[in-house]
């Protein structure tokens, strides 16, 4: 055999292994992301911890079963491999019908799975527990953004309505009532609990607790059309006293315009935007047939500028480090929303292009930014 042929056959033999090694390396390195805000293995509240307490032992048992079974397969493959002097017609000893073996490999999995089943059912019941002082928040999925409604006064009417950002007090359990305005979505804040579907016509209960103040990211996890991947949300957990302050601020109507430009923006808002969007305390003069939406609503913008994120959570209103307003992005969004995020306004899904002029966009941005002094939480984002 020539040297070249030896080399090339060695390379051919090695190549599948280097491919497998490369894939394995990529998978392992992918698990090393330091910034993974959607990491379900970093529980930061009692519900997420409850799930983690089930996942770890189950994973451990599964790992032992995997090693034992795979080890046995590899060992048997090696021990009973065919050898040169084997008789090709010889049939191995048959174990079919061996009662003791068959009972054994039926009973053993049952013995392993029974405690896992018991622990799983107990976990499900535990996740249904609600604290007496839990705060009720209604969660409504829309194509393609989330709405959060708070009935602070307890009279059956939502008195605070936000979008994309759910502000909650840290350390207190939040009792969620989840539904949808159009198609099926799924609500998931990985660090705070598992996921629960948002189904039109049904209300699913769920709960979350954030132990520490900070931001907890989420993402719609049920395919819901064009911008499913752009349907994000976040929980903003505040220290309890700051949460109370937030409630008092949000209960106020939006501030009155202070400048001529803000006043023009407000006028424009009530004519152009108010058929879908609401600002508390603002008289709307919309023609509801102008831009009919499948869900019937766009986000409530009463205290828009107190939120960090808009457009279903894909844009930051403020620079995360400097807290400077990112005005250019907001202008681009108003100039041509469909160019910024995939939507189908012609079918009543998403925000239409209103054909605003540049001075109109300026006025509208001035007005929207006048709805709050800045983002509600400037503490550590812990994302
Ligand atoms: Cu909403 Cu996917």
* 289, pLDDT greater than 70: no
Query: Is residue 107 predicted with pLDDT exceeding 90?
Result: yes
As a whole number, mean pLDDT of residues 295-322 equals: 90
Going by pLDDT thresholds of 50, 70 and 90, the confidence category of residue 13 is: low
Q: What is the mean pLDDT of residues 139-163?
A: 92
- Which stretch, 98-112, 144-158, 161-175, 293-307, has highest mean pLDDT? 161-175
Which atom, in ligand 1's list, is nearest to the CA of 183? 1
The pLDDT tens digits of the residues spanning 43-55 come to: 999 999 999 999 9
Architecture of domain 260-369: Sandwich (2.60)
The band of 295, judged by pLDDT with boundaries at 50, 70 and 90, is low
Query: Residue 25, by phi and psi: left (phi above 0), alpha (psi -120 to 50) or beta?
Result: alpha
Q: How far apart are CA 368 and CA 351, in angstroms?
A: 16
pLDDT of residue 1: 47
Q: Which atom of ligand 1 is nearest to the CA of 223?
A: 2
State the distance from the centre of ligand 1 to the C-alpha of 310, rounded, in angstroms: 16
CA distance 316 to 330: 9
CA–centroid distance, 238 to ligand 1, in Å, is: 26
Mean per-residue pLDDT of the chain: 89
pLDDT surpasses 60 at 140 = yes
Percentage of the residues of the chain whose pLDDT score is greater than 90: 66
d(CA 186, CA 195): 7
> What is the rounded CA–CA span in Å between residue 234 and residue 219?
8
Distance (Å) of CA 53 to CA 19, 86, 120, 129, 290: 36, 52, 10, 16, 52
Residue 255: predicted pLDDT = 87
Mean pLDDT, range 88-106, rounded to an integer: 85
Does residue 291 surpass a pLDDT of 80? no
| Closest alpha carbon to 164 in 301, 328, 280, 333 | 301
Instruction: Report the alpha-carbon distance of residue 189 to residue 209 in Å, rounded.
Output: 10
| Beta-carbon contacts of residue 168 (< 8 Å; ≥ 6 apart) | 135, 137, 174, 208, 210, 235, 236, 237, 238, 243
Look at the pTM and tell me if it is higher than 0.95. no
Please give the DSSP secondary-structure letter assigned to residue 302: T
Q: How many helices (H) and strands (E) does the chain have?
A: 8, 12
Q: Is pLDDT above 90 for 366?
A: yes
User: Is the Cβ–Cβ distance between 257 and 263 less than 8 Å?
Assistant: yes
Q: How far is the CA of 220 from the centre of ligand 1 (A)?
A: 4
Report how far ligand 1's centroid is from the alpha carbon of 146 (Å): 9
Residue nearest to atom 1 of ligand 1 (CA): 185
Q: Considering only CA atoms, which of 181, 177, 170, 273 is closest in space to residue 231?
A: 181
- Please tell me the distance from the alpha carbon of residue 336 to that of residue 54, in angstroms, as a whole number: 47
Looking from the CA of residue 222, the nearest atom of ligand 1 is 2
**Residue 198 alpha carbon, nearest atom of ligand 1:** 1
**8-state DSSP, 227:** T
Contacts of 307 (CB under 8 A, 6+ apart): 162, 163, 164, 165, 317, 375, 376
> Does the pLDDT value for residue 135 go beyond 50?
yes
- The answer to whether residues 259 and 363 touch, using CB atoms and an 8 Å cutoff, is no
- Sorted by sequence, the CB contacts under 8 Å of residue 218 that are 6+ apart come out as 38, 187, 188, 189, 190, 232, 233, 234, 235
Q: What is the pLDDT of residue 86?
A: 81
Q: Ligand 1: residues within 6 Å at CB?
A: 141, 144, 185, 220, 222-224, 228, 231
**Beta bridge partner(s), residue 138:** 149, 177
3-class secondary structure, 221: coil
pLDDT one-digit tens code per residue, 195-244: 999 999 999 999 999 999 999 999 999 999 999 999 999 999 999 999 99
Asked if residue 102 has pLDDT above 70, the reply is yes
Q: DSSP readout, 200-218?
A: BT--EEEEE--SSSEEEEE
Supply the pLDDT for residue 223: 96
Domain ranges, ordered by start, for the chain: 260-369
Residue 310 in 3-state DSSP?
strand
Q: How far is the CA of 142 from the centre of ligand 1 (A)?
A: 8
> What pLDDT does residue 233 have?
95
Taking 80 as the threshold, does the pLDDT of residue 5 lie above it?
Answer: no
Q: Longest C-alpha distance within the chain, in Å?
A: 99
Per the listing, tokens 């001035």 go with: 366
* 69 compared with 18, residue with greater pLDDT: 69
pLDDT value of residue 7: 54
- Give the pLDDT confidence score for residue 373 in this predicted structure: 83
CA 177 to centroid of ligand 1, rounded, Å: 17
């Amino acid at each position: 055999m020539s040297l070249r042929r030896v080399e090339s056959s060695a390379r051919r033999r090695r190549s599948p292994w280097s491919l497998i090694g490369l894939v394995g390396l990529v998978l392992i390195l992918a698990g090393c992301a330091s910034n993974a805000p959607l990491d379900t293995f970093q529980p930061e509240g009692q519900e997420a911890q409850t799930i983690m307490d089930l996942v770890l032992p189950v994973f451990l048992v599964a790992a032992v079963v995997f090693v034992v079974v795979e080890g046995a397969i590899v060992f048997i493959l090696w021990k009973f491999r065919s050898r040169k002097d084997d008789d090709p017609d010889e049939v191995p000893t048959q174990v079919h019908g061996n009662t003791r073996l068959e009972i054994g490999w039926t009973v053993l999995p049952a013995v392993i799975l029974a405690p896992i089943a018991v622990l799983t059912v107990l976990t499900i019941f535990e996740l249904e527990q609600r604290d007496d002082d839990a705060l009720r928040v209604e969660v409504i999925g829309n194509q393609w953004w989330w709405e959060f409604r708070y009935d602070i006064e307890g009279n059956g009417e939502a008195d605070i309505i936000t979008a994309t950002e759910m502000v909650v007090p840290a350390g207190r359990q939040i009792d969620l009532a989840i539904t949808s305005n159009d198609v099926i979505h799924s609500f998931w804040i990985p660090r705070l609990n598992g996921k629960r579907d948002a189904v039109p016509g049904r209300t699913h209960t769920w709960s979350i607790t954030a132990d520490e103040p900070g931001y907890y990211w989420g993402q719609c996890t049920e395919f819901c059309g064009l911008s499913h991947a752009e349907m994000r949300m976040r929980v903003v957990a505040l220290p309890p006293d700051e949460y109370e302050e937030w409630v008092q601020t949000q209960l106020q109507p939006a501030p009155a315009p202070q400048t001529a430009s803000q006043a023009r923006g407000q006028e424009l808002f009530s004519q152009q935007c108010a058929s879908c969007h609401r600002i508390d305390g603002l008289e709307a003069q919309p023609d509801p047939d102008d831009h009919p939406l499948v869900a019937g609503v766009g986000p409530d913008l009463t205290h828009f500028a107190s939120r960090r994120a808009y457009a279903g959570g894909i844009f930051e209103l403020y620079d995360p480090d400097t807290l400077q307003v990112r005005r250019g992005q907001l202008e681009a969004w108003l100039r041509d929303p469909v160019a910024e995020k995939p939507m189908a306004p012609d079918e009543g899904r998403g925000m239409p292009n209103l054909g605003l002029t540049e001075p109109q966009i300026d006025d509208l941005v001035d007005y929207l930014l006048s709805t709050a002094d800045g983002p509600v939480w400037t503490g550590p984002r812990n994302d």
